[in-house]
Structure 1
Amino acid sequence: MVRQNYAIASATGKPGWFNVGKSIAHSFGKGAENVEVRGWGINKGRQAVYDSVGNLVTSPENMGTYDFGTPLTQSHYILDIQPWLAWENSPQDTTNYLERGGSVSHTGLEFFFGQY
């Protein structure tokens, strides 16, 4: 079902999903160029991450996570990003605080200043 949702999310105008594009906070590892898909409406808070060929990413470092706060808001930072920085995605996540923090810093710079 999730694989099917990727096709739905990638299509323009399909209700419930939208393709965010390149995922920086979910692309750890050499050569990782993952795509992030987020839900809205009845799918609000759901997130899935796919690799460059469309396979669902399930590694502890890069898997999709649930969003308690709306992305790009202070609530998202407090409810989702701060806990992730402190405690990772799961006990099996091999990233460290500096790696996770660096990805968020990079995301913030890109958000405010565009691609650099």
Structure 2
Amino acid sequence: MNQRGFTLLEVLVALAIVAFMAVGVSQVIGQRLDIAGVAQARERAQLCARELQARWQVEGLTASQGELSQGGERCYWRLEGAGGPLGGQRLALYADAALGRALGDWPIHAGAQP
């Protein structure tokens, strides 16, 4: 007897292998996208912090909170008391106006402008 094509068992095994590979690849892609999102948020936070530092040095800002536009997106900032040994404050940056999605924070030491 001459056999042509594949048996049902062979097809099912091949489909199972392809399914496992697809799940693995999708997980790797998802992780890469998460990492890229975190890196982008961190970069935006650093740009906002640098712009704030420049504004404080040049304009002498006295506000304790505000918002900036950086790269077409907004970042919101607030100075928070740290209560540390140097009496410093922290510059907290957020991605939303409700200050719910933190982008990062940086220490500001006594006697130094942020």
Answer yes or no: same fold by TM over 0.5.
Answer: no
TM-score, with normalisation over the residues of structure 1?
Answer: 0.31
From the two aligned structures, give the one with the greater helix fraction: 2
TM-score, with normalisation over the residues of structure 2?
Answer: 0.31
From the two aligned structures, give the one with the greater strand fraction: 2
Bigger Rg over Cα:
2
